[in-house]
Amino acid sequence: MFSWSENYATGIQEIDKQHRKLVSIGAKLEDMLGTGDSVDYYDYILETLDELKDYTEYHFGYEEKKMEECKYENFEQHRMEHMYFVKRINKLSMEDIDSHQLGVITQTLNFLAKWLFSHILNEDKKYVHCILGNKE
Ligand SMILES: [Fe+2]
Protein backbone atom coordinates (compact mmCIF):
# COMPACT_ATOMS: atom_id res chain seq x y z
CA MET A 1 0.00 0.00 0.00
CA PHE A 2 2.71 2.44 0.93
CA SER A 3 4.65 3.01 -2.25
CA TRP A 4 5.76 6.25 -3.82
CA SER A 5 5.00 7.37 -7.32
CA GLU A 6 6.15 10.55 -9.03
CA ASN A 7 2.46 11.36 -9.55
CA TYR A 8 2.40 12.30 -5.89
CA ALA A 9 5.08 14.96 -6.27
CA THR A 10 3.86 18.46 -5.53
CA GLY A 11 6.97 20.13 -6.92
CA ILE A 12 7.72 21.66 -3.52
CA GLN A 13 11.02 20.02 -2.69
CA GLU A 14 10.83 19.97 1.11
CA ILE A 15 7.23 18.73 1.15
CA ASP A 16 7.96 15.99 -1.38
CA LYS A 17 10.91 14.92 0.77
CA GLN A 18 8.64 14.71 3.82
CA HIS A 19 5.96 12.82 1.92
CA ARG A 20 8.56 10.30 0.76
CA LYS A 21 9.72 9.84 4.32
CA LEU A 22 6.14 9.25 5.51
CA VAL A 23 5.62 6.67 2.79
CA SER A 24 8.87 4.90 3.69
CA ILE A 25 7.93 4.66 7.38
CA GLY A 26 4.53 3.29 6.38
CA ALA A 27 6.17 0.76 4.07
CA LYS A 28 8.56 -0.33 6.82
CA LEU A 29 5.62 -0.91 9.15
CA GLU A 30 3.69 -2.72 6.46
CA ASP A 31 6.63 -5.06 5.83
CA MET A 32 6.91 -5.88 9.54
CA LEU A 33 3.23 -6.65 9.83
CA GLY A 34 3.38 -8.82 6.76
CA THR A 35 5.88 -11.21 8.28
CA GLY A 36 3.12 -13.26 9.87
CA ASP A 37 3.60 -14.18 13.50
CA SER A 38 5.53 -11.11 14.54
CA VAL A 39 5.57 -11.73 18.28
CA ASP A 40 9.28 -10.95 18.47
CA TYR A 41 8.83 -7.67 16.68
CA TYR A 42 6.22 -6.03 18.89
CA ASP A 43 8.64 -3.50 20.32
CA TYR A 44 9.92 -2.63 16.89
CA ILE A 45 6.38 -2.34 15.53
CA LEU A 46 5.38 -0.05 18.37
CA GLU A 47 8.52 2.00 17.87
CA THR A 48 7.83 2.37 14.14
CA LEU A 49 4.20 3.24 14.82
CA ASP A 50 5.46 6.02 17.09
CA GLU A 51 7.87 7.13 14.39
CA LEU A 52 4.98 7.32 11.90
CA LYS A 53 2.90 9.27 14.38
CA ASP A 54 5.68 11.71 15.29
CA TYR A 55 6.75 12.30 11.73
CA THR A 56 3.16 12.83 10.61
CA GLU A 57 2.68 15.51 13.24
CA TYR A 58 5.95 17.17 12.27
CA HIS A 59 5.03 17.09 8.58
CA PHE A 60 1.48 18.41 9.08
CA GLY A 61 2.90 21.18 11.27
CA TYR A 62 5.29 22.13 8.48
CA GLU A 63 2.54 22.17 5.85
CA GLU A 64 0.26 24.20 8.08
CA LYS A 65 2.97 26.78 8.74
CA LYS A 66 3.58 27.12 5.00
CA MET A 67 -0.14 27.41 4.26
CA GLU A 68 -0.56 30.09 6.91
CA GLU A 69 2.42 32.03 5.61
CA CYS A 70 0.90 32.29 2.14
CA LYS A 71 -2.61 32.86 3.54
CA TYR A 72 -3.97 29.78 1.85
CA GLU A 73 -7.71 30.11 1.33
CA ASN A 74 -8.62 26.52 2.30
CA PHE A 75 -6.34 26.39 5.32
CA GLU A 76 -9.01 25.52 7.90
CA GLN A 77 -10.50 22.72 5.84
CA HIS A 78 -7.04 21.31 5.17
CA ARG A 79 -6.13 21.48 8.83
CA MET A 80 -9.29 19.55 9.73
CA GLU A 81 -8.21 16.75 7.41
CA HIS A 82 -4.85 16.61 9.14
CA MET A 83 -6.54 16.44 12.52
CA TYR A 84 -8.65 13.53 11.37
CA PHE A 85 -5.58 11.59 10.23
CA VAL A 86 -3.73 12.28 13.49
CA LYS A 87 -6.73 11.07 15.44
CA ARG A 88 -6.76 7.79 13.52
CA ILE A 89 -3.04 7.23 14.05
CA ASN A 90 -3.21 8.07 17.73
CA LYS A 91 -6.02 5.62 18.25
CA LEU A 92 -3.97 2.96 16.52
CA SER A 93 -0.85 3.36 18.61
CA MET A 94 -2.73 3.37 21.88
CA GLU A 95 -3.97 -0.15 21.40
CA ASP A 96 -2.20 -2.98 23.14
CA ILE A 97 -0.73 -5.00 20.38
CA ASP A 98 -1.30 -8.72 20.42
CA SER A 99 -1.43 -11.24 17.64
CA HIS A 100 -5.10 -10.56 16.93
CA GLN A 101 -4.62 -6.81 16.78
CA LEU A 102 -1.85 -7.07 14.22
CA GLY A 103 -4.62 -7.76 11.71
CA VAL A 104 -6.51 -4.69 12.87
CA ILE A 105 -3.37 -2.59 12.54
CA THR A 106 -2.78 -3.88 9.02
CA GLN A 107 -6.34 -2.95 8.05
CA THR A 108 -6.00 0.48 9.56
CA LEU A 109 -2.64 1.00 7.85
CA ASN A 110 -4.24 0.14 4.53
CA PHE A 111 -6.87 2.74 5.23
CA LEU A 112 -4.23 5.31 6.20
CA ALA A 113 -2.22 4.63 3.05
CA LYS A 114 -5.29 5.20 0.88
CA TRP A 115 -6.15 8.33 2.83
CA LEU A 116 -2.62 9.71 2.60
CA PHE A 117 -2.26 9.30 -1.15
CA SER A 118 -5.70 10.68 -1.85
CA HIS A 119 -4.92 13.60 0.47
CA ILE A 120 -1.67 14.34 -1.37
CA LEU A 121 -3.33 14.11 -4.80
CA ASN A 122 -6.51 16.01 -3.96
CA GLU A 123 -5.70 18.38 -1.12
CA ASP A 124 -1.95 18.98 -0.98
CA LYS A 125 -1.80 19.77 -4.67
CA LYS A 126 -4.28 22.60 -4.16
CA TYR A 127 -1.94 24.64 -1.95
CA VAL A 128 1.04 24.39 -4.31
CA HIS A 129 0.26 27.62 -6.20
CA CYS A 130 -0.04 29.45 -2.90
CA ILE A 131 3.17 28.18 -1.30
CA LEU A 132 5.28 28.47 -4.45
CA GLY A 133 3.90 31.94 -5.14
CA ASN A 134 5.00 33.00 -1.69
CA LYS A 135 8.63 32.02 -2.24
CA GLU A 136 11.14 34.37 -0.77
FE1 LIG B 1 -1.71 18.03 3.85
pLDDT in tens, the chain (136 residues): 899 999 999 999 999 999 999 999 999 988 887 776 655 677 788 888 889 999 999 999 999 999 999 999 999 999 999 999 999 888 776 665 665 667 777 877 888 899 999 999 999 999 999 999 965 4
Cα(36) to centroid of ligand 1, in Å? 32
DSSP for the chain reads -----GGG--S-HHHHHHHHHHHHHHHHHHHHHTTS--GGGHHHHHHHHHHHHHHHHHHHHHHHHHHHHTT-TTHHHHHHHHHHHHHHHHHHHHSPP-HHHHHHHHHHHHHHHHHHHHHIIIIIHHHHHHHHHT--
Res 135: pLDDT: 54
Residue 88 lies in a domain: yes
Q: How much is the pTM?
A: 0.89
Residue 68 lies in a domain: yes
Cα(40) to centroid of ligand 1, in Å? 34
Res 9: pLDDT: 97
Give the count of domains, the chain: 1
Which range marks the domain in which residue 124 is found? Answer: 10-133
Residue 52 lies in a domain: yes
Residue 35 lies in a domain: yes
Integer Rg of the chain from CA: 16
CATH code for position 96: 1.20.120.50
Buried b (16+ CB within 10 A) or exposed e, 34-72: eeeeeeebeeebeebbeebbebbeebbeebeebbeebeb
Res 8: pLDDT: 97
Residue 79 lies in a domain: yes
Res 101: pLDDT: 66
Residue 4 lies in a domain: no
Cα(88) to centroid of ligand 1, in Å? 15
Res 98: pLDDT: 64
Q: Could you tell me which residues come within 8 angstroms of residue 76 by beta carbon, excluding any fewer than 6 positions away?
A: none
Res 29: pLDDT: 86
Residue 2 lies in a domain: no
Residue 87 lies in a domain: yes
Q: Could you tell me which residues come within 8 angstroms of residue 79 by beta carbon, excluding any fewer than 6 positions away?
A: 64, 67
Cα(100) to centroid of ligand 1, in Å? 32
